[in-house]
Amino acid sequence: MKLSPDIATLVPYKPGKPIAETKREYGVQHVIKLASNENPLGTSAKVKEALIKAVGQQHRYPDPAFFELVELASKKWKLSRSQVSVGNGSNEVIDILIRVYCEPGEAILTTDKAFLSYALCAQAARVTRVFSPLAPGYKTDLQAMAKILKTDPRAEKIKLVFIPNPNNPTGTHISDAEVCQFLEQFGNDPNRLIIFDEAYTEYVRTRDYRSALAYMEKYSSVVVIRTLSKAYGLAGFRVGLLFAQPEVIDYYNRVRNPFNVNDLAQVAAVAALQDDEFIARSVENNSRGLDYFYEELKKMQVPFVESQANFVMFDTLRDVSKVNEALLRRGVILRPILNYGFKTELRMSVGLPEENKAAILALKEVFTEIKPI
């Protein structure tokens, strides 16, 4: 059967290698996975308690309107209920927004080193991908994006602009001043949405960052996506949040599957959003882990990019496939990012202190075994 070229050439998202697969393939007993930016503290005790109580109600369909979750999220982030919805992970939110707002042949704009899902979901919907280059220091360059929106012949077709802040896999952020300047120009465009993907916002340490939630009232085109997969420790449950104007939420809700977020996931999310102490501990562990990584990477004379997220990208200066293979043999799963065009770099998530230590030790061994190119 003849397929659309977009579908025929689609290369699926390559997630971090699963632990069980690594054990099977490499015959290792103990595996450390620092490849998917998950929360190394696990899932909070309060979430587990709530889940046990909810196990008996699973013969019922979940609440299609996520009443409790929307109520809680709207209060927490000082929005109205009509400005909040939920997805099966933020990945689904991205996918649905593209289907709602872009016809085949229309376009999204993002950077050529942004989280890959924007481009993949667009391709699956036969939507054109326009990419802007990064600025030096692997930074998302809003001026380059603005230039495309003003001068590129495809600009009129661009309906959605995806801005991950902080970005994955680089870990870099965009300052509040840069965001302000961009929104002054494009924040109230009736024909385009500016989508800030804030998957790592809880981890940000720099003082010049501000969530785009602060701009939702002033600028009608601003949309914010959050996830509960990272600091909230619910990656397996698949919960993403969408914050936008009521009209956007309305269309999103029309298109999504009515039961897109299962009951246990909703229960887990409600408990997680109330457990501030767990978030504080997660952020603290992350901050210490990042500092440890920086210190060790410096000692190893390995260039790295300072991160505002829960991972760090560094340059192995070596053939990354060989480095990765040698790490896997030692039971350490990090993340090659070749599919982003990074040929010698790796991305390493922050784990527990002992996991971080073991990963650094393995890297040191591998670096003596494999010579720089």
Ligand X SMILES: Cc1ncc(COP(=O)(O)O)c(C=O)c1O
Query: How many residues form the binding site for ligand X (CB under 6 A)?
Result: 13
User: Whose Cβ is closer to ligand X: residue 227's or residue 324's?
Assistant: 227
d(CA 81, CA 358): 45
Query: Could you count the other beta carbons within 10 Å of the beta carbon of residue 56?
Result: 8
Report, in Å, the least distance between residue 113 CB and ligand X: 12
How far apart are CB 164 and ligand X at their closest, in Å?
4
Rounded to whole angstroms, the Cα distance separating 42 from 45 reads 9
Assign 242 to helix, strand or coil: strand
As measured in angstroms, the least distance from the Cβ of 202 to ligand X is 13
110 belongs to the binding site for ligand X (CB under 6 A): no
Q: Which of 98, 183, 194, 199 binds ligand X (CB under 6 A)?
A: 199
Q: Does 16 bind ligand X (CB under 6 A)?
A: no
Report the residue number, 187 or 240, with the smaller CB distance to ligand X: 240
Nearer Cβ to ligand X, position 240 or 289?
A: 240
Here's the x/- map for ligand X, 157-196, by CB under 6 A: it reads as -------x---x----------------------------
Scanning residues 27 to 56, which ones bind ligand X (CB under 6 A)?
37
**Which of 86-94, 174-182, 321-329, 344-352 is the region at the interface with ligand X (rule: CB under 6 A)?**
86-94
How far apart are CB 311 and ligand X at their closest, in Å? 9
What is the C-alpha separation between 205 and 169, in angstroms, rounded?
17
| Tokens matching residue 23 | 């054990």
Closer residue to ligand X, CB minimum distance, 62 or 240: 240
**Quick one: 296 or 351, whose CB is closer to ligand X?**
351
Between 13 and 67, CB nearer to ligand X? 13
Distance CA 292, CA 294 (A): 5
Tell me which H or E stretch contains 359. helix 353-369
Dist. CA 205–CA 70, nearest whole Å = 28
Distance from the first to the final alpha carbon of the chain: 45
Asked if 287 and 128 count as a contact pair (C-beta separation under 8 A), the reply is: no
CB-count exposure of residue 153 (10 Å: 0-12, 13-18, 19+): exposed
Give the residue with the Cβ less far from ligand X, 115 or 293: 115
Q: Give me the least distance between CB of 292 and ligand X, in Å please.
A: 22
Strand order in 222-227's β-sheet? 84-87, 240-243, 222-227, 193-197, 158-164, 107-111, 128-132
Window of 56-64, 88-96, 247-255, 272-280 that interacts with ligand X by CB under 6 A? 88-96
In degrees rounded to 5, what are phi and psi of residue 10? -70, 125
- Figure out which of the listed residues 16, 40, 171, 240 binds ligand X, where binding follows CB under 6 A: 240
Q: Please report which residue ranges of 86-187 form alpha helices under DSSP H.
A: 90-101, 117-124, 142-151, 176-186
User: Which part of the chain contacts ligand X (CB under 6 A), choosing from 85-93, 144-152, 289-297, 333-341?
Assistant: 85-93
Binding mask 318-337 for ligand X (x = CB under 6 A): --------------------
Of 36 and 82, which CB lies nearer to ligand X in the complex structure?
36
Of positions 66, 115, 162, 243, contacts ligand X by CB under 6 A: 115
DSSP codes of every residue in 275-320 = -HHHHHHHHHHHHHHHHHHHHHHHHTT--EE--SSSEEEEE-SS-H
Tally of residues, the chain: 373
| Position 227 contacts ligand X (CB under 6 A) | yes
Nearer to ligand X, 111 or 227 (CB): 227
In the complex, which residues of this chain contact ligand X (CB under 6 A)? Answer: 37, 89-91, 115, 164, 168, 197, 199, 227, 229, 235, 240
